[in-house]
Structure 1
Amino acid sequence: MTYTFDFMAVRHGLGVLFDGLLVTLELTVAANVIGLTFGFGLALLVMHRWAVLRWPASLFVEFFRCTPAIIQIVWFFYCVPMLFDVYLDAMTMGILALACNLTAFNAEAYRAAIQAVPRDYRDAGIALGLNGWQRIRYIVLPTAFRAALPVLVSNGIGIFQQTALVAIVALQDLMYMGKSLATESYRPIETFTVVALIYFAVSFPVSQLASWFEHRRDRLAR
Structure 2
Amino acid sequence: MNYTFDFNAVSLGPLIEGLIVTLELTVAANLIGVILGFPLALLLMSRIAVIRWPATLFVEFFRCTPAIVQIVWFFYCVPMLFNVFLGSMTMGILALGLNLMAFNAEAYRAAIQAVPREQVDAGIALGLNPFQRVFYIVLPNALRASIPVLLTNGIVIFQQSALVAIVAVQDLMYQAKTLATETYRPIETFTIAALIYFAVSFPVTQVVGWLERRRQVLTS
- TM-score bin, normalised by smaller chain: over 0.9
Structure 2 distance, partners of 1:142, 1:152, is: 14
Quote how far apart the aligned CAs of 1:218 are.
Answer: 2.0
Percentage of matched positions with identical amino acids: 74
For 2:9, the aligned partner's letter is A
Residues 204-219 of structure 1 aligned to structure 2 (within 5 Å): 204-219=202-217
| CA distance in 1: counterparts of 2:72 and 2:199, whole angstroms | 28
1:6 matched residue in structure 2: 6
Q: Tell me the residue number matched to 1:193.
A: 191
Shift of 1:4: 1.6
Q: Give 1:122 deviation, angstroms.
A: 0.9
1:184 corresponds to which of 182, 185, 189: 182
The CA deviation at 1:220 is 2.2
Counterpart selection for 2:23 from 18, 22, 25: 25
Asked if residue 202 in structure 1 is aligned to residue 210 in structure 2, the reply is: no
Q: Which amino acid aligns with 2:8?
A: M
- Between the aligned partners of 1:145 and 1:214, the Cα distance in structure 2 is 14
Q: For the residues of structure 2 that align with 1:216 and 1:125, how far apart are their CA atoms? A: 28
Task: Give CA-to-partner distance per residue, 1:41-66, whole Å, 9 cap, x none.
Answer: 10000000111110000000000000
State which of 121, 124, 127 in structure 1 corresponds to 2:122. Answer: 124
Match of 1:161 in 2: 159
Consecutive unaligned residues in structure 2, runs of 5 or more: none
Q: Encode CA deviations 1:76-95: one digit per residue, 9 max, x unaligned.
A: 00000011100001111110
- Larger mean Cα displacement after TM superposition, 174-183 or 131-140: 131-140
Q: TM-score, normalised by structure 1?
A: 0.97
Q: Could you say which residue in structure 2 is the equivalent of 1:221? A: 219
2:53 corresponds, among 52, 55, 71, to 55
Shift of 1:210: 1.4
Establish whether residue 70 from structure 1 lines up as the match of residue 85 from structure 2. Answer: no
Helix, strand or coil at the partner of 1:165? helix
1:163-221 CA distance string (max 9 Å, x none) = 00000011100000000000011010110000000000001111111112222222222
Match of 1:15 in 2: 13
- State the distance in 2 between where 1:141 and 1:214 align: 19
| SS of residue paired to 2:71 | helix
Partner amino acid, structure 2, of 1:60: F
**How far did 1:119 drift?**
1.1
Offset at residue 120 of structure 1 (A): 1.3
* Alignment partners' CA distance in 2, 1:214 and 1:44: 24
Amino acid at match of 1:148: S
Q: Which runs of 5+ in 1 are unaligned?
A: none
Partner residue in 2 for 1:104: 102
The aligned length equals 220
